[in-house]
Structures are given as structure tokens and as C-alpha cells.
Amino acid sequence: LKLIHLNNLVHRDLHLGNILQDDKNTYISDFGLCRPANEMNDQNIYGVLPYIAPEVLRRKPYTEKSDIYSLGIIINTLISGKKPFKDRLYDRFLMIEICRDGKRPEIRAEIPLILKDLIQKCWDEIPENRPTIEEIIDVLTSEELFYKLLNLRLDLAALPSSSSDTKRLLDVPDSSELEPMPTTQIATGTAIYSNIHIIAYCLFNLLKIYLNLYSYLYLDVVDS
């Protein structure tokens, strides 16, 4: 996404179904709606609800900040392990609540505050208040977040296995509730991937470590 924005492009269709991952790389796919940022003059709505930014739902032009909103929904979905608004129809009533009432998906209460703040900034109602992709990378690769996640792991490990709070905190999301990840061919010449250095700190590997935390501790509790 950083490379996309550095090239003055807007993806306009970021959602989990357009993110592919193998053992080494994470890819953004489906660039059919990708356009130069300075050519956003139509008022059509593209993308997948609820990843679409509220200003786009109001038929304002797509910008890099619209992609950032979508990324915020993706980050929260990876953490929760559940589709955003999974109990709702993706219809005009949900669109109205997103635009008029500022409705957003629920954020897990136990995640570090620095990560919660990042997610909330990504889907801020005012596009100008949303962070840039560089600022997001800075947070996700920061030592502060690393140690917050490490301390969370230690705190959860210290809870007694019989504790009801343990069961709540270590609730492993059902993988069947996640959106399917398509395995279709990535658009030729348009797949954006990270090199080995970035992969070590990239968004999805960091969040995958966070999600694996629950699985690891949950299995420890069950085995004990």
C-alpha cells in the first residue's frame, strides 16, 4: 500500500478478499479499480461494504485516505477474527449508520491502547485526521507495540486456567467466520509485495503474531 500511494495511486477496493498471502509474501491484488489520485473525478461508489469510507458513500472522490479507512477495517478484522458487522446485512441501512451515526465495528477490549488508537484513527470520520501509510507502519513496527504485545502475552499466561476471564480473553476466533481468501491469479505486473526486511515487520505478520498469541495460550490451557 505504501508503494501504491508513493506512486500517486489509490487502490479503491481494499478488503480481505483482495489480500493474498503465501509462506513468504503478502500481496495486494485486483487493481481493476486502481486509479491515479489526481483523476478521481467521478462520483460512483466502488468497493465492498463495509470497507468503503463514509465520504465515498457520500459520493465524494476517493483519496489515499479512503484506502487508509479500508486498511483500518482490515486490521480490526484480523484482530477480531470476525467479519465486520457480521450480524448485519450490508445494505443501505448500514450505510446510513456508518455515515450518519459513525458506526464502526467493535474493537476487542484487551488489545493494547496504541493499536486501538491506530485503528480508530484509520477510520476517523474526517479523512484528514487519518494517518498516512508511513505513520501506520511506524506504529506497527514500534518497540512500544512490541512490548505491549509481549506484556499482554505474559499477563494472559499468568491467569489461572480455571478463570472465566481466561476463557474470554483466550477466545480463539472461528476461522470459518473469516472472509475467504481467494487463490485466483494476481493481476499481472500489479502485485505489490514486500522484501524480506519489510516482511519481518510488516502489518500482517505482526498481526498474525498477535492472533497466534490467543491460539498458543488457548492450547496451553486446554493441555493443562
Give the residue numbers spanning the domain of 61: 2-223
For position 110, which CATH number holds?
1.10.510.10
Q: Tell me, what's the pLDDT at 165? A: 45
Q: Tell me, what's the pLDDT at 159? A: 57
Per-position DSSP letters for the chain, written without gaps between them: -HHHHHTTEE----SGGGEEE-SS-EEE---TT-EEGGG-------S-TTSS-HHHHTTPPP-HHHHHHHHHHHHHHHHH-S-TTTTS--SHHHHHHHHHS-------TTS-HHHHHHHHHHT-SSGGGSPPHHHHHHHHT-HHHHHHHHHHHHHHHTS-TT-HHHHHHT-PPPGGGSPP---SPPPTTT-B---HHHHHH-HHHHHHHHHHHHHHHHHHHHH-
Provide the pLDDT confidence category of residue 149 given band limits of 50, 70 and 90. confident
| Confidence (pTM) | 0.69
Higher pLDDT, 168 or 26: 26
**Residue 52, phi then psi, degrees to nearest 5:** -80, 130
Q: List, for residues 35-67, the tens digit of each pLDDT value.
A: 998 876 777 788 889 999 999 999 998 999 999
Is 30 in the active site? no
Domain count, the chain: 1
pLDDT at 143 over 50: yes
